[in-house]
Amino acid sequence: MSEKSERTARLSVFKTYKLYVGGKFPRSESGRVYEVTDSKGNWLANAPLASRKDARDAVVAARKAFGGWSGATAYNRGQVLYRVAEMLEGRREQFVREVADAEGLSKSKAAAVVDAAVDRWVWYAGWTDKIAQVVGGANPVAGPFFNLSTPEPTGVVTVLAPQDSSFLGLVSVIAPVIATGNTVVVIASERSPLPALSLGEVLATSDLPGGVVNVLTGRTAEIAAPLASHQDVNAIDLAGADAELARELEVAAADNLKRVVRPQAVDHWETPGIERLTAFLETKTVWHPTGALGAAGSSY
């Protein structure tokens, strides 16, 4: 071997994928991993096999982050989400490669998927300070009262990401949840988790506070079961569940009256409406008398 070939020969640096919980990158508490393969069965990486303990830790992180994130101005949340889109654009080639491997697509088709996902993130970023104007407002009342309705985030939301769309579908179910002030524990596609884990890396280096999004990978049914019955989870999106698992999780969720979004046949390429923005919003209605207000003498 020549001196030049000796200098250039090197081993590849394989990436170690980790969970994303509370703004940090822990290995699974169990220490377990599982093999992720491409559409042809070729090995791509080992992904963490999250445990029930990891799921509970993710809920704790999401709850801790909820107060600050829901209390931020809608305009600020929009800025943060737009910053995430900027960083996704900067790592476009990485996501193109991962989506191509995960979904068995050509490079050009994978690029179209990634571009659509980035555009989708920007689309939801633009809605953060507009959704309240669409679904809230002053209600007509026959009397000397103001009646005002405003939307508020539900709380901690568990999302089962779509199994068949590792990146565009993933973005389509995460972005609307956090755009409206909720925090999320997302269970990535069991078969194709790598784009979701890479998204965690993007979120960690953006302006998004730790804990707002938490990414778990592993056996969907194993992780989802404790989250569906968790008393500190307020809602669950069953987008990535099959019919049998969806029924089981819906029963478990009823224990503390979680809001449940059932699986639906969705074309992720279509421009979404506002249904996923409003799915995890609660409407607060305030009645207030007109005229003088006590000793302060304020009036409307």
For the domain that residue 137 is a member of, what is the CATH number? Answer: 3.40.605.10
Residue 3 has a pLDDT of 56
How many beta carbons lie within 10 A of that of residue 44, not counting itself?
17
Assigned domain for 148 exists? yes
Assigned domain for 7 exists? no
Query: Residues of the chain whose pLDDT is less than 70?
Result: 1-7, 291-300
Assigned domain for 297 exists? no
Residue 241 has a pLDDT of 95
pLDDT tens, 143-154? 887 777 888 999
Assigned domain for 153 exists? yes
Domain tally, the chain: 1
Assigned domain for 280 exists? yes
- The SS3 call for residue 108 is helix
Amino acid type, 296:
A
Residue ranges making up the domain that contains 276: 18-39+51-289
Strand partners, 157: 184, 235
Q: How deeply is 232 buried, as exposed, middle or buried, from its count of CB atoms within 10 A (0-12, 13-18, 19+)?
A: middle
Nearest in space to 20 (alpha carbons), one of 192, 292, 208: 208
Assigned domain for 300 exists? no
Assigned domain for 46 exists? no
Assigned domain for 98 exists? yes
Strand partners, 288: 146
Contact 215, 19 (CB under 8 A): yes
Residue 282: CA count within 13 A, CB half-sphere: 13
Nearby residues of 141 by Cβ (< 8 Å), 6 or more positions away: 147, 287
